[in-house]
Chain A
Amino acid sequence: MAAAAVSSPLPPSTSPSSTAATTSTTTTTTTTTASSPPASMSSKSSWIALGCEGSANKLGIGLIRHTPTSTTILSNLRHTFISPPGTGFLPKDTALHHRTEFVALARRALAEAGVSPADVDCICFTQGPGMGAPLTSVAIGARTLALLWDRPLVGVNHCVGHIEMGREVTGADNPVVLYVSGGNSQVIAYAERRYRIFGETLDIAVGNCLDRFARVLSISNDPAPGYNIEQLAKKGTRLLDLPYVVKGMDCSFSGILASAEALAAQLLQLGPGPDGAGFTVEDLCFSLQETIFAMLVEITERAMAHVGSSQVLIVGGVGCNERLQDMIASMAKERGGSVFAMDERFCIDNGIMIAHAGLLAYRTGFRTPLEESVCTQRFRTDDVYVEWRD
Chain B
Amino acid sequence: MTATAAEAAAPHEFPLPKILTNPASTPPTLITQGAEGRLYKTTYLLPDIPCALKYRPPKPWRHPVLDQRLTKHRILSEARILSKCRRDGLRVPDVYALDEAAGWLMLEWVQGTPVRVNINQRLGSRTEGIEDDEELKDLMRRIGAAVGKMHSIGVIHGDLTTSNMMLKPPAQQTDGATGLEGEIVIIDLGLASGGVHDEDRAVDLYVLERAFGSTHPRAECIFSEVLDAYRQSFKQAGVALKKLEDVRMRGRKRSMLG
Chain A interface (Cβ within 8 Å of chain B)? 55-56, 126, 128-131, 135, 158-159, 181-184, 186, 189, 191-192, 194, 196-198, 200-203, 205, 208, 239, 244, 246-250, 290-291, 294, 297-299, 301-302, 304-306, 308-310, 326-328, 330-331, 334-336, 349, 377-381
Contact B70 A304 (CB under 8 A): no
CA distance A293 to B178 in the complex (A): 44
- The verdict on B235 contacting chain A, using a C-beta distance below 8 Å, is no
- The verdict on B47 contacting chain A, using a C-beta distance below 8 Å, is no
CA distance A310 to B35 in the complex (A): 12
CA distance A126 to B217 in the complex (A): 27
Contact A377 B256 (CB under 8 A): yes
CA distance A328 to B59 in the complex (A): 11
Cβ contacts under 8 Å, A330 to chain B: 60-61
CA distance A248 to B211 in the complex (A): 9
Contact A336 B12 (CB under 8 A): yes
Contact B255 A184 (CB under 8 A): yes
CA distance A129 to B217 in the complex (A): 23
In the complex, residue of chain A having the shortest beta-carbon distance to the beta carbon of B160: A248
- The verdict on B46 contacting chain A, using a C-beta distance below 8 Å, is no
CA distance A121 to B180 in the complex (A): 53
Contact A244 B66 (CB under 8 A): yes
- Option from A239, A305, A331 in Cβ contact (under 8 Å) with B61: A331
Cβ contacts under 8 Å, B253 to chain A: 378
Cβ contacts under 8 Å, A191 to chain B: 214, 217
Contact B258 A131 (CB under 8 A): yes
CA distance A380 to B252 in the complex (A): 7
In the complex, residue of chain A having the shortest beta-carbon distance to the beta carbon of B208: A248
- The verdict on B170 contacting chain A, using a C-beta distance below 8 Å, is no
- The verdict on B49 contacting chain A, using a C-beta distance below 8 Å, is no
Give the Cβ gap from A323 to chain B, nearest Cβ, in Å.
Answer: 10
- Option from B6, B59, B203, B254 in Cβ contact (under 8 Å) with A309: B6
In the complex, residue of chain A having the shortest beta-carbon distance to the beta carbon of B57: A334
Contact A244 B252 (CB under 8 A): no
Contact B255 A249 (CB under 8 A): no
Cβ contacts under 8 Å, A196 to chain B: 213-214, 217
CA distance A326 to B61 in the complex (A): 8
CA distance A30 to B207 in the complex (A): 43
Category for how many chain B residues contact A:
35 or more
Cβ contacts under 8 Å, B250 to chain A: 202-203
Contact B33 A305 (CB under 8 A): yes
Chain A interface, >50% SS class: mixed
CA distance A322 to B104 in the complex (A): 32
CA distance A302 to B33 in the complex (A): 10
- Option from A182, A184, A248 in Cβ contact (under 8 Å) with B191: A248
Contact A130 B258 (CB under 8 A): yes
Contact A298 B161 (CB under 8 A): no
Cβ contacts under 8 Å, A159 to chain B: 255
Q: Which residues 190-245 of B have a CB within 8 angstroms of A? A: 191, 203-204, 207, 210-211, 213-215, 217
Contact A201 B66 (CB under 8 A): no
Give the Cβ gap from A355 to chain B, nearest Cβ, in Å.
Answer: 16
Contact A247-B258, Cβ < 8 Å, known A309-B6, A335-B10: no
CA distance A249 to B160 in the complex (A): 10
Give the Cβ gap from B40 to chain A, nearest Cβ, in Å.
Answer: 15
Contact A301 B35 (CB under 8 A): yes
Give the Cβ gap from B208 to chain A, nearest Cβ, in Å.
Answer: 8
CA distance A196 to B207 in the complex (A): 14
Contact A239 B217 (CB under 8 A): no
Could you write out 18 A-B pairs with CB less than 8 Å apart?
Answer: A129-B256, A131-B258, A158-B258, A183-B255, A196-B214, A196-B217, A197-B210, A198-B210, A203-B254, A208-B257, A244-B66, A248-B160, A290-B63, A294-B63, A306-B161, A308-B5, A308-B7, A326-B61
CA distance A128 to B253 in the complex (A): 12
In the complex, residue of chain B having the shortest beta-carbon distance to the beta carbon of A316: B258
- The verdict on B89 contacting chain A, using a C-beta distance below 8 Å, is no
CA distance A197 to B212 in the complex (A): 11
CA distance A34 to B96 in the complex (A): 62
Contact A379 B257 (CB under 8 A): no
In the complex, residue of chain A having the shortest beta-carbon distance to the beta carbon of B59: A331
Contact A248-B161, Cβ < 8 Å, known A184-B255, A330-B61: yes
